[in-house]
Structure 1
Amino acid sequence: MPLLTETKWKFRYSHEDGDLVERFYNPALACAVEYCRTTGYFTADALALGARGLAGLFANEGRMRLVVGCTLNPDEQAAISEGYDLRALMEEQLAAADLTPPDEKAREGLGLLAWMVANGFLDVKVAVPVDPQGRPARVPGIYHAKFGIILDAEGNTLAFSGSINETAGGWVNNCESFHVHCAWLSETEKAHVDEEFEAFSKLWEDRSPGAKVFDFPEAARKKLLEFMPREDRPITPPISRAEPPHAAPGFRLTNDEFRRCVWVFLTTAPALPNGLRVGEVTSAVDPWPHQTRTYVRFIEQWPCRLLIADEVGLGKTITAGLILRQALLSGKAKRILLLTPKSVLIQWQNELYEKFNLNVPIYDGASLRWREAYGCSGPFEKCVARDEWQREPVVLASSFLMRRRERTAEILNAEPWDLVLLDEAHHARRRGAGTEQEKGANALLGLMRGLARQCQSLLLLTATPMQVHAVEIWDLMELLGLPPIWGADSHTFLKYFSWASGNPSPETLELLTAWFRDCEAYFGALSDSEFAAVMPDVSSIKRTKVVRALRDAAQATRRVLDPESRRALLDVLKACSPLRWRMVRNTRELLRSYKRANKLDLPIAEREVKDIPVEMTPAESALYSQVEDYISETYSKATADRRTAIGFVMTVYRRRLASSFEALKRTLNGRLQRLGLNEEDVSQDEAADEIMAPEDAMELGASAAELEERDRILELLRGIAKLNTDTKAQKLHAELVSVFANDGESAIVFTQYTDTMEYLREFLARELPDVPVASYSGAGGAFREKSGREGSGRWITCSKEEIKRRLKIGRVRLLVCSDAAGEGLNLQTAGVLANYDLPWNPMKVEQRIGRIDRLGQVRPKVRILNFAYKDTVEADVFFAVGERIQLFQGIVGRLQPILSRLPRRFEEVTLASRETRGAARQRFLAEIEEEVAHPGEVPLDLDEVGRGDLEPVDAPAPAYDLPVLDQAMILDASRPMDLEWRPLDARTYAARLPGLPEPIRVTTSADVFEESSDNHEFFSPGGQLFGALARCADSSLSREPQPGICWLLRDQSGRPVTFVVNTEAGFYRADSLTALLTALSRPAPPEPFPAVDWPGYHAWIVV
């Protein structure tokens, strides 16, 4: 008898995997000695679904317990309230049920169940859903998710659960999908299985609060027994075995020749004219239209220079990853440098691997570190010299590290890069931007100016390109390249937007149109369709006059324009600055406008914001004031040369105090032990001339340590120790109770600090025992094991993939998360986000909200809960002012310069003396309100002038995608003879090359890899095994004029254009992998290439 442990089960099965009877039910139940199953209804379809694979169970003399659902209709429910017996009504309904099978396979399934009932192999019970008062409930079936548990002869247990289509024809054409958990694999999996078994036991024993369970009524039993086979034996459905097609006689390629053709195509395809989307369709992402449009634009215009300024949550990293992947696969880029802040290096590395199948090393100044990916044997770290790390084709490095003076020379003296990417590009700015004390470029901007002169393509990413002043936009545009007039100085740039937005004089209009002509001369002339898009309501005749007025150097054409035409001309000037060619900005409002126009089929949620001021207890309030006094007094005592260090540490205390008393306690304890600060304590002042690096924070913390008063810190710690449970935590708990009263809802709690996160997860897990809780921070993920009889209540560490799986299937309904870990988690499965603390930089809050307010959020509304202690400066600013400007509805581009200065102002109030603190706080609030009410002249509105274009991309069908790649790999001739390749599940295989100790699981399914990248390798371009097989196939090509069978054609510039195969039917053009495989199945003997029929191309022999 086989055992469950002998098969590597997939985590998820669906109808897309093929015949689920063959893929799952037959092999699983062939191991079974006990099978527990629920199904939704007493119908032919539902019972037949429950019968799948039971022949194997019977062969093992196993037993099955089946619970079927019975939902009463409204009339029957009314009868219950009038005193009718629930059991009697249930029996009447089952007796009246129509069990006519929809097809022969369903009939066979019913026959097998009937035989098992008659012979004692199957026990059946009926469950009627009830409400909390025990009254029949009108719900679809027992549960929305049906489940089953399988036990083998050695006690190994497997559970599966999911959704099953129990409509007519479900046996044959079911749209089933379910997840599988194996108790022997891990404690996590065992917990899954135990929970399912307990749920079934409660149901079977009539202990479930959601259903009333009865023994199978005799009338229903008789109805089922009508399907007993005449020969009184179980019916075993025939197993179909497809015979391999017989090869037609004639000429055939050898396996080596066939494989060579396939692999030359696979590796060349991204560079073909129809290869533009190969990188996308062989990745693990399904991009939204605006992402596809941006990456296609970048690749088509290669070499290209672009600023992507999409709002937070609209997927800039995905767009960048698509660009990076396609540039690499197509050969356009062979050397790529990715510069990001140190705090997001790991997130970038993970995203590139999990979404784009690229394991990119991080350079930390001394070594290269790769992700420890499944299937990779290492080494994962390599020490390198300063001139050695740059030899990697793609490398991630900290922008904070590379901006250092000694590193700048090192990187600028290296071989030029094909593509340079800078994340958080607003960190590259001039010092004192927009003030009379401008001091030139900061270190990062200076580095980027050097790199911009050396690289082919340049990609800048930031949601906030204008932090302090509009001149910062010019600095970024200048990196990308500006027309001569525009690049002369920043004042010209700023004047243009100010003048074009008003009613310019004739003299000013002459300047503006000259600058427009400068743009067309540099970037290329706009097409008629582009002009029409900018002037949609202008007639074609007037549009022609406007275009002539723009392009003609003579003044006469502009002086004769009527008012409507003049307004249209100004619209063109505003829309057609260099930003049109150098920047793309997509906003949620833009996406909504396309959705309203029925041009976008995409769910976009609205936000429902609730601000929750928390009243502190007298003890908390007194301690809060005591900490504030300690901060201001310690700062005032510092000497001038130590004030920077002391001031920074004191603001760290204040930020942690606003988060939680626990976060402050742990930091104060750390200071007593002379422990340093950590990356979470880095200043949030994005308006600073030089953005603080984590190393800077450590140095300042160490410098200030000796000046702090140990006795005062101990006094504060004693005060914290006397406090009861944090009032804010209690308020959060109360709000979450309301959230979870809505069945099925899930929530995310965000905090700045891991210390606060750990405190909250313990508190919430204790106070919400029926809600599955998990946490995720820079240290990784963890979920709470059930306490009591079912577990110890321990936190079980787990991978990010496990957190994602649990969120998706409802095994986690509450996730407590730190800011550092939020990026990279797909959190739109939650509908509620709680900001337990409010970072001083509002953009940090927007980044959090963007984790659930993402494209694809299925809920029409997402709820945002904001917490702050009452009568604190955070509550004053974020609640009072925030409500006026709808701060938590999204950052408005014109307000960004005001909001970016908030962190510094918070710091100033924090460090004010006790005597001046109240006045400083009032002054701060008044100034912010005044600036918000009268923001002054902002010469350019990025949301307007940088509007993206969401019209569909007109790109050819890709040369191949993942399903076609899978079809090719099924063919033995596509694989090396010494490669072990064994099918496991649909599009999943066990693969082993010579020298590997054991096979690895590889998949060509993006869905499988998305859910299980921790135990699958993605078999697609960029992957380790894919690369190894490509290298195994001899891909050297020849231009010798000799007979051949397959050729790669290149144009006069050397770019690959198509493949040609000599077939039995003649010379065949193969632009796709499918076409190539078809042609290779009917090859003709070698012949000379008919160059006369393919003029203008160079033919390279593949075989």
Structure 2
Amino acid sequence: MGFADFGGPGQPIAGFYGADADLLGDFYLPLLERARRYDRASGYFTSWGIAVAAQGLARFLPGGGAVRLVVGAQLDSEDVAAIETPADLDEALVDQLSGNGSLDPDLGDLIAQRRREILAWLVAEGRCHIKVGLRRGSDGKPIPALDDPNYFHHKLGVFDDGGGRLIAFSGSGNETWSGWVGNSESFSVVASWWGDAWWAAQGAEVVDQIERMWQGDAGGGWMTVDLPEAVRDKLVKYAPGKMPPPREPAEKPEKPKVLPVVKTDPTVVEGRLADVIDRLRTQVGSGIRTAGVEPMPHQVSILHRAIDRWPRGHLYADEVGLGKTIEVGLTVREAVVRGLAARVLLLVPAAVIGQWQEELAEKLALWVPSWDGPTVGWRWPDYTTTDPSDGDPWIASHPVTLISSHLARMRRNREQLLASGPWDIVAVDEAHHARRRGGKPDGEPNLLLSLLHDMFARESWRTLLLATATPM
């Protein structure tokens, strides 16, 4: 397919994307699925970048696409471990990724669900090469990341369609979920056919800089090292998959606080707890008072409206940044604390499961496991895992269950999910993904909308909560 049918700026690729742009839908995915090579220099990279790009990779990979990454030295330890372990992919999936078999409509969902295994397979097959950017010491050798407060922080990229057409971009975003979806980012774009002078001034410079990085010269006293060598020589440092930025050198660690120990009569404590529990179950706002966040006024108003009309369903459609995760989480917490719900299913896109889990734990005092497949089982907010007793997430006994909507909508899982109801609450994030094909009222429902139709017919929920920041 390539970029042969693309025209000048805005047809359809713009020369600049700002804070209001859909970076994923309008830029990244359309280019990735048409490209044959993707070169990227990024301060931070995690396998969540694969999850967020899954629908584009579903065409890029079977078409023979290859990736070269030059990244900063702060990496997710589980990503590195996956790369060093032989990928355990079934033959049918390997055939699809290799372009040797018919494509499963669920291929994009499979890529998102098995992001680390896909990454490992790509590296093993020589279709994804990764180098790490590090400072060069006076002896010409790389300085380990733990010994250097400075950081490789470039954000450059080039899409190559294999037919002589290139698209280069540079800006603020990393090759992570947050970089493409979560953060407020911006970048400039130029295509090789938009004019020789323009391309020479911007695009060719990006191509040349990434190529020099790939050859080992990152400029200004910096160098690049192959990832296996960097891991072997303990040059990288590890962080959770969310990739928090490194601590500033001048920032001093907080001193531990010493709290006095007060001994109390156990019978007094039990009586007070019983009184508190009784009040929690009978007073509106109990969920707020026991959460770890002070909600904004509009979030309190939305919570009261949802509980006053219980079990009526609601659509949470605030603009980006107004806290839909908090609104849905507060509603769930209030319902659980007050005994209105004992079994809750949260269906969330694979790329944002980590964000949901963190928000629920830190701000809403809800310790919720996420299902990470039968190999890993349940993954908890502190990154520990629990092996499933039966390998079936749909019949779990956890009060609140967090599962990828990509996994739920797969045809192979549908009957198990439908048989697992009823749930007191089913909440669906990014609900605009449930739509009819072509945007037509009589269009065929896609997999997610079809699943919700079937769940409605089976009376799979008492209350349905939908969240979206995209106009429906």
TM-score range, shorter chain: 0.3 to 0.5
Higher CA-based Rg: 1
TM-score, length basis structure 1: 0.19
Q: Relative contact order (C-alpha < 8 Å, sep 6+): which is higher?
A: 2
Q: Which has the higher helix share?
A: 1
TM-score, length basis structure 2: 0.42
